[in-house]
Amino acid sequence: MIGTGKVVELHYVLTDAKGKVLDRADKDAPFSYLHGGQQIVPGLESALIGLKVGDKKKVVVPPADGYGDVSNELRIEVKRSQFPPTAELQQGMQFQANGPEGQGMVFTVSKVEGDTVHIDGNHPLAGETLHFDVEVTAVRDATDEEKEHGHAHGPDGHGHHH
């Protein structure tokens, strides 16, 4: 049964409020995570507690329990000169930088206007209500190493990549 300290394998389809598919994990590439490791959005994690292998569930996650609301404070204008001269800035390009509170964040370049670069630190799915259609395909105890790392490793224990 799904709960803290379990490694869970899922198939899922994630759609937005209009039914557009945003992400999916099918039989040939299931998704696994460590429950309680904050690897998935909180609204989905809490909805999966108590499910077992073979269970299917539709879960609707509001932005507050998903990727958060869109914050205008994270839409920032910076000068072209703040980037390395060799960086080719293009709309949609992503890079890591420190957010307003010094935390590491991913920003996306939303527009380049002459010497001004508009960047956006919101998650691409911020403000979206997430519709998950989930099937649980495996549940097992996490290994000590997984608990220590705070994430799931591959089925053979060698899927370590970070």
Q: Which is nearer to Zn ion, 27 or 162 (CB)?
A: 162
Q: Which is nearer to Zn ion, 131 or 153 (CB)?
A: 153
Angle subtended at Cα 88 by Cα 78 and Cα 120, rounded to the nearest 5 degrees: 40
Say how many residues make up the chain. 162
Min separation Cβ 36 and Zn ion, Å: 15
149 binds Zn ion, rule: CB under 5 A: yes
Q: Classify residue 142 by its DSSP letter.
A: P
Sign of the CA dihedral with 71 first, then 73, 74, and 75 last: positive
Coil/strand/helix, residue 74: helix
124-143 binders of Zn ion (CB under 5 A) = none
Q: Which residues of 131-147 are buried (b: 16+ CB within 10 A; e: fewer)?
A: bbebbbbebeebeeebb
CB of 147 to Zn ion, least distance (A): 10
Smallest distance, Zn ion to C-beta of residue 160, A: 5
* Residue whose CB is less far from Zn ion, 118 or 149: 149
Shortest distance, position 71 Cβ to Zn ion, whole Å: 31
- Which lies closer to Zn ion via its Cβ, residue 100 or residue 154? 154
Q: Which residues make up the interface to Zn ion (CB under 5 A)?
A: 149
